[in-house]
Copies of this chain bind each other. A is one copy, B any other.
Amino acid sequence: MSTIIETFGGTFVFAIIVSGMATHILLQELQKYSDFKEEDFPEFLELFKPFKVAKGDYFYRAGDIPKYSPFILKGCMRKFFINEEGDEQIVYFAEEGWFAGEVQCMRMNSATEMYLQALEDCEILGISLNNAEIGLQSFPAYRKFLDVRYAVDHNRIINEATRLKTDTPESLYLRLIQTRPSLILRVPQHYIAAYLGIRTETISRIRRKIAGK
């Protein structure tokens, strides 16, 4: 089923609707790093299975062997694990347009240590390892996309990691406001703090300081 989703400057943009989901976000993401053709998209989309995850629920939990790699169409999720001391370590927040899969575990058929929890009601497209392989065979642009995406992610993670380990709480928080302002609005402060590796009290004080300028 095909529907007009948006119009840009008089050009009609078509996209596929899976049970009411805005799948064009996936196409946009593919086209960011490849020349994926819009006409191939409907067929490509059939490789995915739609999911809805209610606020607070999990897409996978530690101990699971994830069967699907999720792409987030709507909502915001947090990926975290529980360390030796028993506290939650937030690895990242995944918003619209993010993949949040445990690819290594899927490949190795091993249990993940991660939890993927919806912080809002979420809409997700999940792809199995098998369908991903089919997609890589059938759509060269998807292969291209993944290759570039891996490299980009690799760089992004290394950059973020270096900052998290060396920057002060204040510059970490200010930076997050700059780079991902939506997170500040939609994610509870104590999760932001856990992600930055600082205390929620510290964020309170930074906020007061900023406001008093």
Contacts and interface: CB of A to CB of B under 8 A. Distances in A.
Interface of A: 81, 83, 89, 91, 103-104, 107, 147-148, 150-155, 157-158, 160-162, 164-166, 196-197
11 contacts: A81-B162, A83-B162, A89-B166, A103-B154, A104-B148, A104-B152, A107-B148, A150-B154, A153-B154, A157-B161, A161-B164
Q: What is the interface of chain A mostly: helix, strand, loop, or mixed? A: helix
Nearest to A164: B165
A81 B162 CA distance: 10
A198 to B, nearest CB: 9
Contacts of A104: 148, 151-152, 154-155
Contact of A157 (B83, B151, B154): B154
Given A162-B91, A166-B197, A197-B165, A107 B157 contact: no
Given A91-B158, A157-B158, A107 B165 contact: no
Contacts of A197: 165-166
A29 B137 CA distance: 25
A157 B162 CA distance: 11
